[in-house]
Amino acid sequence: MKLQADLPEGVNVINAYTRQSVSINGQEYLGSVLVPPSGAPVPWPLTSMTELTEAHFEQILLMNPELVVLGSGPTLKFASPALMKSLMKKRIGVETMDTPAACRTYNILVGEGRRVVAALLVEP
């Protein structure tokens, strides 16, 4: 019995997560990363939630998501709502969870064909 749904060609899938890296389509990315539904993942230059600025969310806007899954690292931490103004103005949803849960959630949503971006914080 097949338990994994077929994904369209070119869809990014998160294969694994460690405290230092994320594996996307079999390629390991060290550090924080933005994962769009298709196209190349983009390094995200931060190492903790305290470093987040509005500019980090502006970078996500360029990917045109309908939803952002924000992985806050190994434990759940929330970003200030004021930082996410640019996303809220565009009516883009944001769900915050720890990074392992964000990886799993992203895979489910991208498998449903949603325009989701995973913003994954990986602490050194």
pTM of the model: 0.91
What residue segments make up the domains of the chain, in order of their start? 14-120
pLDDT of residue 5: 53
* DSSP tag of 11: B
pLDDT of residue 109: 96
Distance separating alpha carbons of residues 119 and 114, to the nearest angstrom: 15
Phi, psi at residue 50, to the nearest 5°?
-70, -20
Phi, psi at residue 90, to the nearest 5°?
-90, 5
CA angle 65, 68, 70 (to 5 degrees): 155
In the numeric block, which tokens belong to residue 52?
Answer: 């987040």
Model confidence pLDDT, tens digit, residues 59-89:
999 999 999 999 999 999 999 988 888 898 9
The CATH code for residues 14-120 is: 3.40.1230.10
